[in-house]
Chain A
Amino acid sequence: APATSTNEPGDEDAASPANLVTPVQLRSGYNYLTKYGFLPKPNPLAGSLLSHEEFNEGIRAFQEFYRLPVTGVLDQSTSSLMELPRCGLPDIMPDEDGTRKRR
């Protein structure tokens, strides 16, 4: 079963410092979101930086997909779910044109 969260949407404590994750979790969070389709894969032929907004959008997409409180922040409940063993297929499949779309 997924980790449960006591944070409800709009809960002010959801993004409190105590509820945020470490840089290591942040990095693995980025890898996770990329691997499972919530963020676009980096283009190897072009240097690219991911903005905070894009990263948070990826978190938000993951939270929406799994019906977690949608904070856009990599909080503990989100990170806990990401740590569960799982299937290797992406949750969101890229379309032929490279855009991401739930299928």
Chain B
Amino acid sequence: YAHTGAKWDRREITWKIRNYSPDLTTSEIIDALRNALQIWGDAIPNTFRRVHVGSADIEISFSVGLHQDDYPFDGPGGTLAHAFFPGDDLGGDAHFDDDEQFTVNAYEGTNLFIVAAHEFGHSLGLGHSSEITSLMAAFYQGYKPNYELPYDDHVGIQSLYGARQGSIPSLPDVPIAGAPPGPPRPDLPVPNTPEPGPDPHCANSYNAIAKIRGELMLFKGKSFWRMNMKGEPLEGYPIDTSRFWDQLPVKLDAAYERIDDKILFFKGSSYWEYFSTNRDPSFPHPIRELGLPDDIDAALPWGDTGKTYFFKGDLYWRYDEIKKEVDSGYPKKVADNWDSAVPSNMDTAFRFIDVETKTWYTYFVRSKKYWRFDESRGKVDKGYPRSFSEDWMGC
């Protein structure tokens, strides 16, 4: 995505229809334009209010050829519409070429909703994206029913205006936020051979890494990175954790997704529960109510067994999520029951599967290094530790 350097500095943005196209009924045009604005409004905290008199931030008109700006339309095809970036006078306005045959269906003509949604992206401050599947790519791509804002646009607009609570950019194939996690996907990556990532903002170490809704989320300071199911770091990251999780503390100790889909974050002597991106207002709670020590190093949920391992120093605890208590006999020494090669005082731990060998691995990360623990052998593989940023983040 591309920002233009312009944005509205107010939450409520007004819009107004100056005239209508003869191609559609008035209500069809109003609905298409309102829905086109709302697809952005669902992602950001701003609201759009239609006005009928006076001036508006986004004034919408249909015209042909020369139409009192410096950008004449060119008849059918070619240029379909244009819009101006946020600002005074023409700023925000959207003009549609009435030589096009505008429609509200997917099969013929030019779908007004899609064209308008693109133009309103400009009205809000986005430029053209070079991601060809994005809404803000310059080319008309037709309309699909139940259209959803593509990931690139979602991240682009949220990085300008912030995120509406609960609005998380979803990749294709990625379960939507709030959906229960499915079984491990058969096409998960070979973890030690990830694609090089394009994100240049790699960190040397991470405070916490958690698999949430099938994706790896990597937390560091007040930022987080996101890795898709193919093990590729996503463009547009890192971003502030506060844009996903309201009031989340920075410099987390640990994070994990519990068997009941709640997401738990740990820091110091407290922990917080979130459902999707919504914080349970009764939190934070003291970690000690779980029977665990303060300042834990890592949390590692063990599939759908309802057991979660917590690590601190050279010890670990096994917590039963059903009984809501630490199993008897814990804590134990990591070196005794995992492998003496597993680092003590780790930063974080997470699990991933090698789809080729159907082998689950546990990864332990400390500072710049990571260790791969083969769960089937109960051993750390030879050749480890290796550089986490090089292998996983392509840095």
Where the two chains meet, the residues of A that have a C-beta atom closer than 8 Å to any C-beta of B are 1-2, 36, 65-67, 81, 84-91, 93, 102-103
Determine the residue in chain A with the shortest Cβ distance to B97.
A88
Question: Of A67, A84, A85, A103, which one neighbours B4 at CB under 8 angstroms?
Answer: A103
Interface stretch of the complex, out of B132-140, B181-189, B368-376: B132-140
B1-34 contact mask (Cβ, 8 Å, vs A): 1 or 0: 0111100000000000000000000000000000
Which residues from B are CB-within-8-Å of A93?
4, 127
Determine the residue in chain A with the shortest Cβ distance to B100.
A85
Q: In the complex the two chains form, what is the Cα distance from A83 to B288 in whole Å?
A: 65
Contact yes or no, B82 A88, CB < 8 A: yes
Which residues from A are CB-within-8-Å of B77?
85
Contact yes or no, A85 B140, CB < 8 A: yes
Given contacts A2-B139, A88-B79, 13 further A-B contacts (CB under 8 A): A1-B132, A36-B138, A65-B130, A85-B140, A86-B140, A87-B80, A87-B82, A87-B128, A89-B138, A90-B128, A91-B130, A91-B138, A103-B4
Determine the residue in chain B with the shortest Cβ distance to A91.
B128
Known: A103-B4, A103-B5. A84 touches B139 (CB 8 A): yes
Which residues from B are CB-within-8-Å of A102?
2
B73-95 contact mask (Cβ, 8 Å, vs A): 1 or 0: 10001111111000000000000
Q: In the complex the two chains form, what is the Cα distance from A67 to B132 in whole Å?
A: 9
Interface size classification for chain B: 20 to 34
Q: In the complex the two chains form, what is the Cα distance from A39 to B195 in whole Å?
A: 34
Question: Of B5, B83, B140, which one neighbours A84 at CB under 8 angstroms?
Answer: B140
Chain A min CB distance to B109 (Å) = 11
Which residues from B are CB-within-8-Å of A85?
77-80, 100, 110, 139-140
Chain A min CB distance to B116 (Å) = 11
Between A and B, 9 residue pairs with Cβ closer than 8 Å are A1-B133, A85-B80, A85-B100, A87-B122, A88-B82, A89-B128, A91-B130, A93-B127, A103-B5
Determine the residue in chain A with the shortest Cβ distance to B133.
A1
Helix, strand, loop or mixed for chain B's interface? loop
Chain A min CB distance to B98 (Å) = 13
Interface residues of B in 301-355 (CB under 8 A from A): none
Which residues from A are CB-within-8-Å of B130?
65-67, 91
Contact yes or no, A88 B139, CB < 8 A: no
B384 CB–A CB distance under 8 Å: no
Which residues from B are CB-within-8-Å of A81?
139
B119 CB–A CB distance under 8 Å: yes
Contact yes or no, B128 A88, CB < 8 A: no
Chain A min CB distance to B194 (Å) = 21
Contact yes or no, A89 B80, CB < 8 A: no
Interface residues of B in 97-122 (CB under 8 A from A): 97, 100, 110, 115, 118-119, 122
Determine the residue in chain A with the shortest Cβ distance to B3.
A103
Which residues from A are CB-within-8-Å of B82?
87-89
B283 CB–A CB distance under 8 Å: no
Which residues from A are CB-within-8-Å of B247?
none
Contact yes or no, A87 B81, CB < 8 A: yes
Contact yes or no, B78 A103, CB < 8 A: no
Contact yes or no, A89 B110, CB < 8 A: no
B47 CB–A CB distance under 8 Å: no
Which residues from B are CB-within-8-Å of A88?
71, 73, 79-82, 97
Contact yes or no, B138 A103, CB < 8 A: no
B359 CB–A CB distance under 8 Å: no
Which residues from A are CB-within-8-Å of B81?
87-88
